[in-house]
Amino acid sequence: MPSDTSHVYELNHALGAHHLSRLRSVDTSPAEFRQHVHTLSTLLIAEVTRNFNTEPCHVTTPLETISGEQLAGRIAAVPILRAGLGMVTPLTDLIPDIEIWHLGLYRDEDTAQPVRYYDKLPPDNPTSVALVLDPMLATGGSASAAIETLKKWGVPKICMASIISAPEGIERLTTEYPDVPVYTCVIDSHLNDQKFIVPGLGDAGDRIFNTLG
C-alpha cells in the first residue's frame, strides 16, 4: 500500500532555494555551511510551527492592556546527534523557552542501520510537542528510531524537520508513522548504493563540525 504523503511539506521559498544552492556546494566553507544551515532551519521551523496551539494572554503596552496569544504547552527540540545540533539555535532564537532533549544515533556503515548510543529522555513528564531535527533524512532509520522513542515517552504531537530528504526516508516515515508530519526544504532524487542522498551535500555532520579530515 502506498504511503500517505498528505502530511509531507516541502518548503517553497526563494530564500530557501538560494541558501540550498550554497549549502550543497563543495566550495562552501564550514563557517558558511553552518550559517546556511541556520538560515534554512529558521525558514523551515517557521513553517513547522505555523499552526501550533496558542492560548490567550493579556499584554500591557505603553498605551493600554490588550488581548494577545502565546504558545501553549511545553515544546521540545530533539536533535539527532550529532548533525541535528546544527538546527537547534534557530529554535532557541524563535522559542526561547523550548526544552532541548538529545538522542544519540549513528549509522552503522556496514548495515546502514541506526545504532543508539545516547538517550537522556526522562522516564515520565513528556512534553506537549516534540520536533525531531536532522539535516538529512536518508533511509529514515534514525528518524524512525527517534520517533518511536518519543512515542514511548508519551509525546502526543511529533514533527520531523529535515533540510534535505530522500524519497526513501519519506516513504518509511509516512508508512510507519502517518500521524507525524514531515517538513523538509527539498526532496532530492534518491539514495545511492552507500545510502547517501543524491545530489545531497555529502556528510552534514562532517561539514557542520569541520571533521572531514
- Collapse the DSSP code of 34 into the 3-class scheme (helix H, G, I; strand E, B; otherwise coil) and give the result: helix
111 is an active site residue: yes
Burial of residue 177 (number of CB atoms within 10 Å: 0-12, 13-18, 19+): buried
Catalytic position from the list 92, 111, 116, 211 = 111
203 is an active site residue: yes
Backbone angles phi, psi at 186, to 5 degrees: -160, 150
- Collapse the DSSP code of 145 into the 3-class scheme (helix H, G, I; strand E, B; otherwise coil) and give the result: helix
Catalytic position from the list 22, 42, 119, 203 = 203
The DSSP code for 111 is T
Catalytic position from the list 22, 28, 89, 206 = 206
Kindly give, in sequence order, each residue whose CB lies less than 8 Å from that of residue 167, ignoring residues fewer than 6 positions away.
Answer: 187, 188, 189, 190
Catalytic position from the list 5, 107, 119, 175 = 107
| Cβ–Cβ under 8 Å, residues 54 and 72 | yes
**Catalytic positions, please?**
107, 111, 203, 206
